[in-house]
Amino acid sequence: MSERTAIVIGSGFSGLAAATSLAHKGYAVTLLEKNDQVGGRARHWQKDGFTFDMGPSFYWMPEVFTRYFERFGKKVSDLYDLVRLDPSYSIVFGPNEVWSLPAGLGSVKRLFEEHEPGAARALDRFMTEAKLKYDLGMGELVYKPSLSWSEYMKPELLSGLMRTHVLTSLRSHVRKLFKNDRIRQVLEFPVLFLGAAPQNTPALYSLMNYADIALGTWYPMGGMASVVKAMADVARAQGVNILLGEEVRHVMVNNGRAGGVRTASAVFKADVVVAAADYHHVESTLLEVRERTYSPGYWKKRTMAPSALMFFIGLDRQTPSLTHHTLFFDESLDDHSDDIYSRPAWPKAPLFYVSCASRTDSTVAPAGCENIVVLIPIACGLKDEEATRQRYYELVMDRLAQRIGFDPRPHVVVKRSYSLNDLEADYHSFRGNAYGLANTLGQTGPLRPRVKSRKVDGLYFAGQLTVPGPGVPPALISGQLVADLIINEHRSR
Ligand SMILES: Cc1cc2nc3c(=O)[nH]c(=O)nc-3n(C[C@H](O)[C@H](O)[C@H](O)COP(=O)(O)OP(=O)(O)OC[C@H]3O[C@@H](n4cnc5c(N)ncnc54)[C@H](O)[C@@H]3O)c2cc1C
């Protein structure tokens, strides 16, 4: 193959994956990132001896990472240390009601059986189906560019899909098998990663329960920052030229074909452009109107995955009663969901998530201290003001105090809040979304924004607003499948 040139816009998981996969197949790749750090939403922030992951903290589906690095002859174990968390996470249902989800199916079955006789057997049934869906979804479906339904028209795939209850919601599927409210909540939690409520998520996505319960929750020592570093190292080793602080201002199109990009300081010419920045930003800011596949009306109708209000907090003392991941489900999920999707507003009684990575990893906080990240999912497009952030800080601290047995506020030595305005400023995030475009039934596969522009030849898209969806493993896959598409199209020419 003669050497071809590619520009990749954005250094999140999808951009790094696309750039590295193209470079591996002989492309001369330049990756342009507006920020001064690689990783996109998975950047980290360091202050006074604390290292905070600013985005993802749940490392699920480890074999997606294994498969990724194997493309380049690398083993995960050579790049970073991975530990399986046990418990996987805890769920606070009330002041005196906390469930710790143990690692491994057998232990989870025992826990469920204690709360609902017969639930262990029901879980076996549920997980057998979840595994089928996982194998089908992760083996066949997610690696497809989904440019047309014809990609799905294979008899074995269709019969597999029919068995996945494609038209049933995850919530109905769970409720048919389990009566205990807490068990139902445990099983509904994983699909929140897909950015939609369980009642609006197809039951196909019980594959997420397989990822959770059977495959486990892992932690890369050093945090997600270690994974990002490993990806950037592998990218450079494959020859990718990563340029930081280079914000793309314009995608250059000549006679309907992408010819490169322009930043504030330079012009970069290329045979193909992969836009792995937020899809909406690329279409609405970097392209002329006639070059856009989607109209403002189209974007207005999309269901975005939530945004987030986060706090990065360094404590000068430890919190032994917190596990690495704690979900505060001590308020109604449905009411909070309504505040996100049905009538967007700041949540009256929010659920939230607390990560305490220093419980597992002593390198992310000074000795005797604790590294706490709080995340409250919120609707996109809300008004983001300092006073609102502070109000939620107090609310969260009150509920956290109940859990850890002391008021954390006097022990806070580092504090930073992060929300909609920051997401927009840092990533050009559409309406301040954190997790991209939700995986609802109407926004799955070919119904998501396309990986290939309809209007501009040689312009491709990757990342959490296109296929397969939001989350780190899908973003990784997105970059690879776009690179494979480009390589295959070039070969067949
Ligand atoms: C707070 C939070 C928590 C999360 N938790 C989890 C989790 O626990 N587990 C999980 O699996 N997933 C989680 N996710 C989702 C996951 O992080 C994302 O799905 C994934 O990182 C998205 O990768 P991406 O490559 O699509 O986009 P991004 O990471 O956003 O990368 C896009 C890049 O493009 C750059 N860019 C934008 N515009 C331009 C421009 N004009 N020129 C140059 N560069 C540009 C941006 O700066 C950014 O670096 C979380 C996300 C957030 C925000």
Residue pLDDT, tens place only, 86-142: 999 999 999 889 999 999 999 999 999 999 999 999 999 999 999 999 998 898 789
The dihedral region occupied by 15, where left means phi > 0, alpha psi between -120 and 50, and beta the remainder, is: alpha
Shortest-distance Cα residue to atom 52 of ligand 1:
55
Residue 428 CB less than 6 A away from ligand 1: yes
Mean pLDDT for the stretch of residues 438-465? 95
Residue 370 CB less than 6 A away from ligand 1: no
Location of structure tokens 């340029």: 243
| pLDDT the model gives residue 439 | 87
CA of 225 from ligand 1 middle (Å) equals 13
CA distances from 478 to 210, 211, 469 (A): 21, 18, 8
Residue 247 CB less than 6 A away from ligand 1: yes
Query: For the chain, what is the radius of gyration of the CA atoms?
Result: 22
Which residue among 32, 36, 37, 41 has the greatest number of ligand 1 atoms within 8 angstroms of its CB, and so is best to mutate? 41
| pLDDT the model gives residue 2 | 57
Residue 8 CB less than 6 A away from ligand 1: no
Q: Could you identify the atom of ligand 1 that is nearest to the CA of residue 38?
A: 49
CA of 40 from ligand 1 middle (Å) equals 5
Residue 207 CB less than 6 A away from ligand 1: no
The dihedral over CA atoms of 450, 454, 456, 460, expressed in degrees to the nearest 10, equals 20
CA distances from 31 to 7, 241, 306 (A): 6, 6, 28
What whole-number distance in Å separates Cα of residue 189 and Cα of residue 91?
Answer: 10
Task: Render pLDDT for 27-40 as a digit per residue (tens, 0 to 9).
Answer: 999 999 999 999 99
pLDDT above 60: residue 1:
no
Which residue among 374, 435, 481 has the greatest number of ligand 1 atoms within 8 angstroms of its CB, and so is best to mutate? 435
Q: Could you identify the atom of ligand 1 that is nearest to the CA of residue 15?
A: 25
The dihedral over CA atoms of 175, 176, 182, 186, expressed in degrees to the nearest 10, equals -80
Shortest-distance Cα residue to atom 5 of ligand 1:
56
Q: How many residues does the chain have?
A: 493
CA of 158 from ligand 1 middle (Å) equals 32
Band (25; pLDDT cuts 50, 70, 90) = very high
What whole-number distance in Å separates Cα of residue 142 and Cα of residue 148?
Answer: 14
| pLDDT the model gives residue 166 | 72
CB 4 within 8 A of CB 271: yes
CA of 423 from ligand 1 middle (Å) equals 10
Shortest-distance Cα residue to atom 14 of ligand 1:
56
What whole-number distance in Å separates Cα of residue 372 and Cα of residue 254?
Answer: 49
Task: Report the predicted TM-score, pTM, of the whole model to 2 decimal places.
Answer: 0.97
Surface-to-core class of residue 117, CB atoms within 10 Å of its CB (0-12 exposed, 13-18 middle, 19+ buried) = exposed
CA of 12 from ligand 1 middle (Å) equals 5
- Partnered with residue 243 across adjacent β-strands are 32
Band (162; pLDDT cuts 50, 70, 90) = confident
Residue 55 CB less than 6 A away from ligand 1: yes
| pLDDT the model gives residue 155 | 80
Cα angle vertex 10, ends 438, 255, to 5°? Answer: 95
- Partnered with residue 461 across adjacent β-strands are 275
